[in-house]
Chains A and B, each alone.
Chain A
């Protein structure tokens, strides 16, 4: 089966006033349909850069990236980006915010608008469609941001520390919520995070990156015994602690 994402021997070098910065080196992995992959690594290891490369916002210095067999050369409709904060525009209503992506891609039709409304309906935001982002809770805003991404029908979701702006309790709940939506819509996703627990709790595989220049140190296949795989439930699984310790050691964090 053709992978959704194929990262082939990718390297990234930045030019900075102090000289070249090697952000990533020899990154090589694939993500298959319906998979959830987490990428963890110490701060500054280039994990967010990797997402920007996959989304086509940046071009790799070496190597190639393929989305569904097509080489990435610029921002692609196939990738849907979710950033650290929800970045709902406060001057737009929830419905207008959700339509931002399709509006930019000039594919806004009455049918698409109906689709947006049905998305909002399904995920409990319909009555807030004409409200402004400031009138919504953090969790609802995050959900609206996800719907905005889903509206462009991406084949791969790129979550860049997508929950880190939330406080801990909200974050656990939102993670569960977003995970359920991603699974329900049968989306493939890559999550970048520095939170080991979050990475394990959501992922089928966890990729551990090293310090700069980021290289893949190890890939863990996560298999947890829990009745229904949700991030909260995963944290209860007996194997969870084991994975945590392994990855913790691998990250080799010193203060």
Chain B
């Protein structure tokens, strides 16, 4: 019932958008309209650049997403491992967390050079700190008695990590992944705004500059679809790990 209503809502919204645009109630030059979006996609496809733009953006996002998550978990482990390190880095993490990382964009471009690498670094900068804090939070909130239990069996620090902290923080890690899906797209699109010559972010900026708002809306719709697929991917991953750990 819920699912049907959700789909119905989407269909009605698009239908309304199309009808109102055709009736001239809304200005399709600014808001575009579904039929124009479809023809824009067809055009891009005919020019042979549709999958180039989508591919580049998706690749950058996935690389940034995976790097951000893995590095974030690794750094969180390092900070948990060394109390000294975590105490030293604490104020920096707090500042970096509240700092809008996008402001660092020009620095990355100048330092790394305009190109996909700068965009990926941008993505990393945005998602890394959140991941570290979220995973570390999971570690810190693990019941100390569970750790004590492992220690009372003579468990090493590494065993505390693998037997208790990582499995106990699995919900936090998944949560970080879900947040990172959104943040990675922000990072990539902002990065593409700043430097790129291809990708959906580039299409948005280009479309805006030449007043081809069809192009902008088309890119936004494609972005929405891609982000949804990626989010679903994380959910499948979560279920996969849960199922696997239960069957073992």
Contacts and interface: CB of A to CB of B under 8 A. Distances in A.
Interface of A: 55, 57, 74-77, 79-81, 83-85, 87, 89, 91, 93, 96, 100-101, 103-105, 132, 152
A81 B170 contact: no
Contacts of A105: 153-154
Given A91-B170, A105-B154, 10 more contacts: A57-B148, A57-B151, A74-B154, A81-B149, A83-B148, A84-B145, A87-B146, A89-B164, A91-B245, A96-B248
B152 A75 contact: yes
Interface in B106-134: none
B159 A104 contact: yes
Nearest to A51: B152
23 contacts: A57-B151, A75-B153, A75-B154, A75-B155, A79-B152, A81-B148, A81-B152, A83-B149, A84-B145, A87-B149, A89-B163, A91-B168, A93-B246, A96-B248, A100-B149, A100-B150, A104-B150, A104-B153, A104-B154, A104-B159, A104-B163, A105-B153, A152-B153
Lowest 5 A-B CB distances belong to which pairs?
A81-B152, A75-B154, A104-B153, A101-B153, A104-B155
A75 B151 contact: yes
Contacts of A79: 152
Contacts of A87: 143, 145-146, 149
Contacts of A89: 146, 163-164, 167-168
A14 B148 CA distance: 18
Contacts of A83: 145, 148-149
A96 B247 CA distance: 11
B119 to A, nearest CB: 37
Contacts of A96: 248
Interface centre among B150, B152, B170, B245 (most CB of A within 10 A): B152
B149 A77 contact: no
Contacts of B246: 93, 132
Interface in B137-166: 143, 145-146, 148-155, 159, 163-164
Interface centre among B143, B149, B150 (most CB of A within 10 A): B149
Contact of B152 (A55, A93, A103, A132): A55
Consensus secondary structure, chain A interface: loop
A117 B151 CA distance: 24
Contacts of B150: 100, 104
B198 to A, nearest CB: 43
Contact of A77 (B154, B163, B170, B245): B154
B221 to A, nearest CB: 39
A89 B160 CA distance: 13
A149 to B, nearest CB: 9
A103 B153 CA distance: 9
A83 B149 CA distance: 8
Contacts of B248: 96
B87 to A, nearest CB: 15
Interface in B150-202: 150-155, 159, 163-164, 167-168, 170
B145 A85 contact: yes
Contacts of B164: 89
A154 to B, nearest CB: 10
A156 to B, nearest CB: 12
B169 to A, nearest CB: 11
Contacts of A91: 167-168, 170, 245
A182 B143 CA distance: 27
Contacts of A103: 163
A96 B163 CA distance: 11
Contacts of A84: 145
Contacts of A101: 153
Nearest to B241: A91
Nearest to A85: B145
B153 A57 contact: no
Interface in B18-75: none
Nearest to B147: A87
A8 to B, nearest CB: 22
Nearest to A130: B246
A93 B245 CA distance: 10
Interface centre among A75, A79, A152 (most CB of B within 10 A): A75
